[in-house]
Structures are given as structure tokens and as C-alpha cells.
């Protein structure tokens, strides 16, 4: 992982931590608990959740679209599967 990728991951993790602290959306904390209860480490769960958050942040930053909360929640519900990622 290069420095730019690491910086992006750090930002995504910070956003996830803030969402959990604010309990908004509540599905973030619920997803972390679900993933941890099914055998994922907290770090692995956070990485998976960052994969659900990343497309929404890309839409906001690069395409100036509105954050799609419903799609984000749907992606969280699908984890650890990530059908929206075509390059896996």
C-alpha cells in the first residue's frame, strides 16, 4: 500500500469512527458488531466497512454527487460480500 492509499484508508477509518461515535447511521456500529461476532477482527471489519464507504466518498468528492445513505447502508448489510466491487 502506498502513502496515498494509506492516507485514504486513514480518512475512511476516521469517518467510520465518527459515525460510530455519533451512532449515525446506526448500521455502522451494528455492522462492526456483526462482523466481529462472525469471526472478523476489528481491523478486518473496519477494512470491510471502509470498502462500503469508499464508493460513496468517491461519488461525493470526485463526481460531486450527494452522499447516498441508502446505498451505503445496503452495502454495509451485504458485508463481507462486496458485489459492488467488480475487480475482486
The per-residue pLDDT for 87 is 53
Give the other-Cβ count within 10 Å of 74's Cβ.
13
Least confident range from 16-20, 34-38, 57-61: namely 57-61
Run of H or E including 60: helix 42-63
Chain length of the chain = 88
With a cut of 70, say whether residue 88 has pLDDT above it: no
Give the other-Cβ count within 10 Å of 56's Cβ.
18
pLDDT one-digit tens code per residue, 32-42:
999 999 999 99
Q: What is the mean pLDDT of residues 4-15?
A: 92
The per-residue pLDDT for 2 is 87
Domain boundaries, the chain: 3-78
The per-residue pLDDT for 74 is 96
Amino acid at each position: 500500500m502506498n502513502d496515498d492509499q494509506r492516507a485514504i484508508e486513514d480518512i475512511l477509518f476516521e469517518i467510520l469512527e465518527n459515525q460510530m461515535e455519533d451512532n449515525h447511521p446506526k448500521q455502522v456500529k451494528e455492522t462492526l458488531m456483526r462482523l466481529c461476532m462472525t469471526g472478523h477482527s476489528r481491523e478486518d471489519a473496519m477494512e470491510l466497512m471502509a470498502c462500503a464507504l469508499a464508493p460513496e466518498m468517491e461519488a461525493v468528492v470526485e463526481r460531486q454527487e450527494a452522499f447516498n445513505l441508502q446505498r451505503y447502508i445496503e452495502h454495509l448489510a451485504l458485508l463481507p460480500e462486496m458485489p459492488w466491487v467488480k475487480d475482486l
